Structure 1
Amino acid sequence: MQQLSNELYTRKTAVVERIVQFGTGNFLRAFVDWLIHEANLQQQQDLGIVIVQSTSGSTSEVINAQDGLYTLVTQGIQNGQQVNYEQVIESVTRSISLQNQYEEYMKLAVSEDLQYVVSNTTEAGIVYEQLPFDAQPSKNFVANVTHFLWKRYETFGADPSKGLIFLPCELIEQNGTALKNGIVSYANAWDLGQSFIDWVTGANTFCNTLVDRIVPGFPKSQYEELTLKLGYEDKLLVAAEPYYIWVIENKEALHSFPLVTNQFEVKLVDDLSYYRERKVKMLNGAHSALTPLAILLDTDTVGQVMEHSKLRPFVQRLLVQEVIPTINGDKEQLMTYQQAILERFENPFIAHYVKSIALNALAKFKTRNIPSLLAYYKQNATLPKHLTTALAAWIYLYQTPEVFSPQDAPEAIEQIKAKPLAGVLSNENLWGIDLTTIPQLEQFVGEAITAFKESQTAQFIAELEEEALGL
């Protein structure tokens, strides 16, 4: 069977290379590159993407063998309806291997057509490391971008019109600011001069962004079936859920960004902290709260949690009654987001195993759930019992190795294993606060742990439901 390429597929759009993308991975191809493809189709844009591969491997060669074409499979639940469709994405023009095509990379740096830079080099990508200037190419993403901008500056001087707009998608706070600071650090370390630094910070725009879309990646279990359906082989096939949102700080610089229309869930904001808070507290927080109870009730996946007669209502009440009230924002919008979360959890095409969420669970709970617990108590002077039940479940699991084997930092496990409950709850290293200062919390956690020990988890959750319903 033929492989997807220009010989097999007739492109619907003509593009110019206006975007350089650092990262060949599934996420960017199923998120940014798909959005750009849609903008080109729907708005007659001409945005073409050159993908730079900085790591070893053959992905760059595969991209070029397929002329940048690949198939996106969108699968999930949207507005209560099952979604499952395929489309060929044609926004990518080519890929450059940094290790093997460094001259091409430098040629790209002086292109007058370039406007945007996107990246997803994982959370560890935006870091500064001491490196010599002549280490080219580097394994460090920030160093490679600094060389890219230096070449551009050498060619065009301090021309402000040759600056670029950076849209990093790495999942760290202030990702754009972190990238800019890293470049400035290299410029200082390499003595590239104040004029270059002024051009970097003045002519270029570094946007802080927040991205959200579940991208399972290559649909291995469906590959043969999809290949027969599509009629061609596609080694870059990628699957994603329907839901997505891209929140970008900097309204002024991006007022003409083609994706900022009613057609796309791309939002320009002055401050994205609200969107980060709701994602961390609601989406990530629900994951961290449901996981220990799912483990206790022998429920393997998030999808199975949504089918469980006790766990689904537990998750919904936790979000609606205990988390949403702690977030400053439009409650109707938050309820809509809550419904979208439940649809995402219900996705029948994704097997999201709860034990994968359990990795480093205590640090996650501290970041995702403790702020909601504290805010709820401050507002109501009563315990948020669903959040506190999840807390109790994690403590029980970490102290019961015959039931659960924690995958966490050794010091975190040591601080909770075989320790008296009061000592665990008062440990500020674990929770960021002495939780025994919250009235009745220690007693409630103790009662919950007793129920778990006696295999009464389902009954304990049922009693919470009866209390919530006033029965």
Structure 2
Amino acid sequence: MSVETAAPSPILQFGTGRFLQAHVGLFVSEAAESGAALGGITVVQSTDDPASTRRAQALAGGEGVPIVLRGLVAGVPVETRRISRSVREILHAASDWNAVRERVRGPVRVIVSNTGDDGWTLSLRDGPPLLAAGAAAPQSFPARLLVLLHDRWQAAPEAELTVLPCELVSRNGSVLGDLVVGQARAWQCPAPFIDWLLTHVVWANSLVDRIVAQALEPVGAVAEPYALWAIQAQPRLQLPCRHPAIVVTDDLARHERLKLFLLNLGHTMLAELWRLFERPAGMTVRQAMEDGALREPLERTWLDEVLPVLDALGQGDEAIAYLGSLRDRLLNPFLEHRLADIAQHHARKKARRLLPVVELARRHTPGLAQPRLRAALRTP
């Protein structure tokens, strides 16, 4: 499904969800207005979910993607409406797989993904025959990426290529690269190809930070004004665009700790308290922040159990400043960010967002009591 007749898109995006619409898609669209983008985006719909199909059909309509930015900036309410026009083509991973493979053989320079919490799970149904020309699409995203990169290696091994995942996984580029290389070895791919994966493809570690709390129908999103895309600096890194919200850094871990241990941990603790106190099913983050029974234990968790760890890591002042702006973000009166949505995959999120703080405390602040974090980790 093409949006319009245009030059081949140098950016291939796996995922159609609201986050990518208000993050990568909007950044590229805004950058293109000043000639600071690589070009347009080819979006790959990865599932047959009806909502995803509706989004893909709306994207293919060529009307652009409405993005509404609402929030508090320096305490002042703001609302900005934009139309993102970065998407040039929509393909379906199953029915258009040969076309996806053809795009990666040629114009693609950056591959972006945000495949959800289960997106990197490998499938036993995937195997070496899927590398053959005309084969069906693999089931898992790492196997799909392996097939595409194998095609690229055969067709244009010298062309630069960056894989830039947006999934909330620490060292996401390195982890995804290890999954793909492991799959290549399991499939007994040629040694020169595996070496190419290890030395030529740029597996970019990145961190995304923007609350995108509401989808518009059939396509579009409501998000906060705040946005950050921090990307680890490395040789031959290609960015999809230049944008004020994109920061290339030599120390990605500093950005990652602030976001993971304050914003994401805060969301998950609110979801934990929402479940514990059996608050209404439709309760939002803002409503929880205005509920003293939920806000007070969250504040104590931040101040007593998280900030001392960040201070021991040399980020105390940064953490206090980040937390100050974070409270305004969580109290955003314009976003309907439901705790029921945050609570999806709750146990997995607790392990990812809470447990590392406890482990860091054991090494850097021995003796620090973390009763709230430890209690949350003990519950299902």
Q: 1:334 to 1:99 in 2, by over 3 A?
A: same
Shift of 1:74: 1.4
Distance in 2, Cα, partners of 1:78 & 1:206:
34
Shift of 1:23: 1.2
| Higher RCO, 1 vs 2 (CA within 8 Å, ≥6 residues apart) | 2
Shift of 1:95: 0.9
Distance in 2, Cα, partners of 1:16 & 1:125:
26
| 1:250 equivalenced with 2:219 (yes/no) | no
Shift of 1:141: 1.3
Tell me the residue number matched to 2:201.
204
Q: Is the 8 A contact 1:326 1:376 kept in 2?
A: no
Deviations 1:391-438 (A, max 9, x none): 69x68xxxxxxxxxxxx9xx955xxxxxxxxxxxxxxxxxxxxxxxxx
Tell me the residue number matched to 2:99.
104
| 1:140 equivalenced with 2:159 (yes/no) | no
Q: Is the 8 A contact 2:214 2:223 kept in 1?
A: yes
Shift of 1:377: 11
Tell me the residue number matched to 1:152.
152
Distance in 1, Cα, partners of 2:327 & 2:98:
48
Q: 1:66 to 1:27 in 2, by over 3 A?
A: same
Partner secondary structure for residue 102 of structure 2:
helix
Aligned partner (choices 105, 111, 131) of residue 117 of structure 1: 111
TM-score, structure 1 normalization: 0.67
| 1:79 equivalenced with 2:79 (yes/no) | no
Shift of 1:178: 2.4
Letter in 2 for 1:375: A
Distance in 2, Cα, partners of 1:109 & 1:351:
38
Tell me the residue number matched to 1:69.
64
Distance in 1, Cα, partners of 2:231 & 2:266:
24
Q: Is the 8 A contact 2:215 2:222 kept in 1?
A: yes
Shift of 1:163: 3.5
Tell me the residue number matched to 1:280.
260
Q: 1:39 to 1:249 in 2, by over 3 A?
A: same
Distance in 2, Cα, partners of 1:359 & 1:64:
26
Distance in 1, Cα, partners of 2:103 & 2:343:
43
Q: 1:196 to 1:367 in 2, by over 3 A?
A: closer
Q: 1:350 to 1:147 in 2, by over 3 A?
A: same
Letter in 2 for 1:82: P
Q: 1:218 to 1:249 in 2, by over 3 A?
A: same
Structure with higher Rg: it is 1
TM-score, structure 2 normalization: 0.81
Letter in 2 for 1:341: L
Q: Is the 8 A contact 2:285 2:336 kept in 1?
A: yes
Q: 1:173 to 1:310 in 2, by over 3 A?
A: closer
Unaligned stretches of 5+ residues in structure 2:
131-135
| 1:336 equivalenced with 2:330 (yes/no) | no
Tell me the residue number matched to 1:55.
47
| 1:128 equivalenced with 2:122 (yes/no) | yes
Please show how residues 292-303 of structure 1 align to structure 2 within 5 Å: 296=277, 300-303=283-286
How many pairs does the alignment contain?
Answer: 363
Q: 1:44 to 1:378 in 2, by over 3 A?
A: closer
What's the C-alpha RMSD, in Å, of the aligned pairs?
Answer: 3.5
Q: Is the 8 A contact 1:127 1:182 kept in 2?
A: no
